Amino acid sequence: MKTKLELPDDLMRKLRIRAAESDRRLKDVVTEVIERGLEASNETECPDPLQAWLSKLRVDGDGHIVNPDGIDTPEFHRMLEQIRQENRHRPPRDPFADAD
């Protein structure tokens, strides 16, 4: 089916370069890119990795928060580093701010 599309010049340039580099026709590259975009939009969105990890944590009977996967998993260490990075950007908490 023939269709006329108006695409931005920079996008068209990228498509032409991709077609030339892969020695394929422009219409085949455009078809592939559109199909990939449609497939990606049908996939479920990944949740925020930190929130996904936090949702796994459980509260023990004595009130302690427990990671059922343990602390030796690479995921645990990645999330811990992410939490540390986020906290580095926050000003330190004043322990006397709430004291009267």
Consecutive 10-residue averages of pLDDT for the chain (100 residues): 88 92 92 85 66 80 76 76 80 75
Contact 29/19 with Cβ under 8 angstroms? yes
Q: Are residues 40 and 60 in the same domain?
A: no
| Residue 11 lies in domain | 7-44
Q: Are residues 37 and 58 in the same domain?
A: no
Q: Given this model, what pLDDT does residue 17 score? A: 92
**What is the spatial distance between Cα 21 and Cα 33, in angstroms, rounded to a whole number?**
15
Q: Can you give the pTM of this predicted structure?
A: 0.42
Number of domains in the chain: 2
Task: Identify whether 98 is part of a domain.
Answer: no
